[in-house]
């Protein structure tokens, strides 16, 4: 697997809440943050090590080889969260990688972040 994109950003909630949100994004009915597009599917948890690691299967049916890794680090009362996208060969075009990166960034660094009030 090849790393094709990664982002690291602070998140407001404590690490244990971030872990819970990633392993069960639909846990709180009034606060769904994983709003998938018609062309996407819900990820499965490939691996989880509380509270520092969550690995998702692909959200893109046309790229079932994709794996999304979340590294969760407690920082004070908040969390430093890194997501990393891995793909098998053949790696898609640069524009497709950019599209995938932007989509993950929207889900994680916008939707999830706003879910916790920021």
**Chain segment 41-91, per-residue pLDDT in tens:** 999 999 999 999 999 999 999 999 999 999 999 999 999 999 999 999 999
pLDDT > 70 fraction of the chain, expressed in percent and rounded: 97
What is the reported pTM?
0.94
103 pLDDT above the threshold of 60: yes
Work out the average pLDDT over 25-35: 82
Q: What is the mean pLDDT of the chain?
A: 94
SS3 115: helix
Q: What is the dihedral of CA 40, 1, 84, 33, to 10 degrees?
A: 20
Q: What span, in angstroms and rounded, lies between the C-alpha atoms of 111 and 105?
A: 9
């Amino acid at each position: 697997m090849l790393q094709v994109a990664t982002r690291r950003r602070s998140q407001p909630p404590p690490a244990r809440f971030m872990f819970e949100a990633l392993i069960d994004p639909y846990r709180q009915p009034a606060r769904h943050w994983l709003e998938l597009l018609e062309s996407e599917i819900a990820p499965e948890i490939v691996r989880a090590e509380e509270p520092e690691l969550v690995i998702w299967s692909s959200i893109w049916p046309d790229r079932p080889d994709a794996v999304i890794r979340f590294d969760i680090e407690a920082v004070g009362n908040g969390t430093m969260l890194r997501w990393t996208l891995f793909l098998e060969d053949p790696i898609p075009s640069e524009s497709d990688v950019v599209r995938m990166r932007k989509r993950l960034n929207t889900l994680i660094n916008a939707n999830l972040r706003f879910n916790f009030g920021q």
